[in-house]
Structure 1
Amino acid sequence: MMKKLATLIFFLSIGFMTSAQDEYLSKVQTLDSTIETLYDVISGEAGEKRNWELFKYLFTEDATLLPSGPNEDGKIGYRAMTPDGYIETSGAWLEENGFFEKEIFRVTETFGSVTHIFSTYESYRSESDDKPFTRGINSIQLMNDGERWWVVNIYWTGEREGNPIPDKYLPK
């Protein structure tokens, strides 16, 4: 009896995982759906949980996230982290404070399986905010393996005094 129950639980859990994987797979079938999911999965009101499983599903196994900008001495640098590292350093803050990142403009270049996107974004604390608290550009490298899109790297920097977003990367 216990063996039958264990077998039933095993197959039900596989069915659930397959269902979640199928749902996730639909979010990475096109370049547009992949980028939309990337922005959506980190966005939400204060107190709203994020789907970190889906977030990690977007990335290759060795993907890197690289925020860049000036340090306290004003010297430009960057910090490299994995998707798990991003969740560890930013996940709680995003959920506690509310954060919405919205793409406002995109430039896309593709050669073979390699795609590079310069994605201009605006960040808000709440979806109801009228003005962003910051803007910047995400440089996103993606790969299509013939079955789906993968985020390989995201390297970004924010707009700041002395570093405005050029007009060519803003909506017309």
Structure 2
Amino acid sequence: MKLKYLTLLVVSTLLIGIDQATKLYIDRTMDLHSSITVVENFFNITYMRNKGAAFSFLANFSYRLPFFILVSLIAVVVIVTFFRKLRPDQNFTAFALSLIFAGAVGNLIDRVRLGEVIDFLDVHWYEHHWPAFNVADSAICVGVFLLAIDMFIEERRQKNLKEHPPKQTG
């Protein structure tokens, strides 16, 4: 098995498992909108349900569920398509795409199963709260950040190759 596919399998299995286990635990042990302070004035575990996307975007859109399921499925197909085209040396890219894939699948499972996504990580500074999120959202954000870094590095690599092509031996 190629390393990039092993990366996708391991990262996705681990993250989807952690994401779904944490959501199930929160759903079974907490009441909706209840909160547990972890770090005073900074971090709580708060059980929320999100019918929309980030920041509850499109939460009241009448076709939101089929729309978000379709968008998630398209994202998964696009990620797999890009994944298949990766060069053997693009392990960092494979890792970043695996994080995004796992996050997309984790939230897709919630949308199909519940019609909404369970969020519970509540970061705030006193009364100023960032919208609650979950493990899948975190994986997507970290994956996109790593992918941006990787794209920057790849662009510099390509520029360097144009300026200093490898010498032909032979």
TM-score, length-scaled by structure 1: 0.25
Structure with more relative contact order (C-alpha pairs < 8 Å, separation 6 or more): 2
Which of the pair is proportionally richer in strand? 1
